[in-house]
Structure 1
Amino acid sequence: MTESPEEKELVARINELAHKAKSVGLTEEETIERKKLRSQFLANFRASFKSDIEMMQVFDKSGKEVTPKKVKDIQRKRGLRDD
């Protein structure tokens, strides 16, 4: 997965605040900002992960598709599957 420039900036700022928290501590505003940035990062991660899972197909060793029904249903709703 490649990070967008926005994601890179988000991670860089989170890391910057983490280093500052360990060295000199954070102000109240920085603590609030860190919490907001972490929440935003996790929301982005979860959305990306969910999309990846919903797009996958699973095959057993013999080549038979064994994608879970729930994932197949989601793919059908999105128009990604016509079976």
Structure 2
Amino acid sequence: MVTPQDIERINALARKKKSVGLTKAEMLEQAELRKAYISGVKSSLRHHVESIKVVDPKGNDITPEKARKAQFEKGLRDTL
């Protein structure tokens, strides 16, 4: 999980890169921090998308079978 301090460090390195450039160690640090940040965003988005329930105007659950199965396996749904 990326902390607010990690995000601040990512931003500080980006500002430094634009102004004076980064050392090799700083470039590696920036790459690792960005990788962790992107991984966290992807994980969060995946969780949100997987928990979506699709209903039609009549109120019927029309969530695709693949999504319902994934939700059931993760405990987000009681039945298939």
Given the two structures, how large is their TM-score scaled by the length of structure 2?
A: 0.85
1:44 equivalent in alignment to 2:40:
yes
**What do you get for the CA RMSD once the two structures are aligned?**
1.6
Instruction: Give the Cα–Cα distance (whole angstroms) in 2 for the partners of residues 18 and 60 of structure 1.
Output: 45
What does 1:1-80 align with in structure 2 at a 5 Å threshold? Answer: 6-80=2-76
Give the letter aligned to residue 24 of structure 2.
E
Amino acid at match of 1:52: H
Give the unaligned 5+ runs of structure 1: none
**How many pairs does the alignment contain?**
79
Amino acid at match of 1:82: D
Higher relative contact order (CA 8 A, sep 6+): 2
Percent sequence identity is 37
- Segments of 4+ moved more than 6 angstroms: none
Q: Which runs of 5+ in 2 are unaligned?
A: none
Query: CA deviation digits over 1:19-53, x for unaligned, max 9?
Result: 00000000110000000000000111111111111
Rounded to whole Å, the distance in 2 between the matches of 1:82 and 1:13 is: 42
